Amino acid sequence: MLIKGGNANLTVTEVLKDIEFFSKKSDCSLFLFGSHNKKRPNNLIIGRMFDYHVLDMIELGVEKFVSLKEIKNSKCPEGTKPMLIFAGDMFDVNEEYRRLKSLFIDFFRGPTVPSIRLAGLEYVLHFTAVDGKIYMRSYKVLLKKSGCKIPRIELEEMGPSLDLVMRRTHLASDDLYKLSLKQPKGLKPKKKKNISHDVFGTTYGRIHMQKQDLSKLQTRKMKGLKKRPAEKSAEDGGATPKKS
């Protein structure tokens, strides 16, 4: 749900009821509010709902913006599912940045698909948090010939790009946030032993192996690895081979 502020003096906190009303009417869980005034120029407010009530809401200031048209490079088709990359310690150590990262994932992750072909991995959204700013960059993945089966990967900026700064935040309490993460039993996948998943849905497996005896490891037989007669005699107790 995209909302553009018509009244320059209007704030999101004053229209929360309207946002919740339209969220319920359109069954929409995410919203983006854009406004501009002297006090907070080029302002974006990104948020999400839980049970048709505002859960998290973060205000971002746009300090620099480069549009798609300004970057004269080839573009990805509309609706391409992006790969999301987050760089910067703030996304892991700061609670506000952690919630912002989670919001970005909800906004840009795209539809859930069972599988994807290699050529479909052509769109990268990169977020970098450094020195109190968030840099958002969009890249197209180029697969180049590398002389082997695995192609060489290059990233070409295609836009848009934004330099953002975090302003005000309205975050749900820890208890409410945990409640919003709960899934119905019918949708929650059954836990499998030694298998875990991250926020992107990537599957990780833990393998338990017994201690290996490397002395029994089968190696390639090469002339340089064969034991010399002197080494064999040393292993046999120093006995020299008999001459016929």
Q: What digits encode the pLDDT tens for the residues 108-122?
A: 988 888 888 877 889
12: helix, coil or strand? Answer: helix
Question: Helix or strand or coil: residue 56?
Answer: strand
- At 112, give phi and psi (nearest 5°): -80, 125
Residue 170 to residue 13: CA distance in whole angstroms: 10
Residue 7 is predicted with a pLDDT of 56
Model-level pTM?
0.70
8-12, 27-31, 66-70, 98-102: the lowest-pLDDT one: 8-12
Q: Minimal CA–CA distance to 126: which of 96, 164, 99, 95?
A: 164
Average pLDDT, stretch 136-141? 95
State mean pLDDT over 23-52: 90
What percent of the chain has a predicted confidence (pLDDT) above 90? Answer: 39
- What is the mean pLDDT of the segment spanning 212-232? 71
90: Cα within 13 Å, side-chain hemisphere = 14
- The half-sphere exposure of 77 on its side-chain side, counting CA atoms within 13 A, is 6
For residue 104 the two structure tokens come to: 């970005």
Topology of domain 2-182, CATH: Rossmann fold (3.40.50)
- Say if residues 136 and 127 touch (Cβ distance below 8 Å): yes
CA atoms lying within 13 Å on the CB side of residue 84: 16
Residue 136's φ and ψ, nearest 5 degrees, are: -110, 125
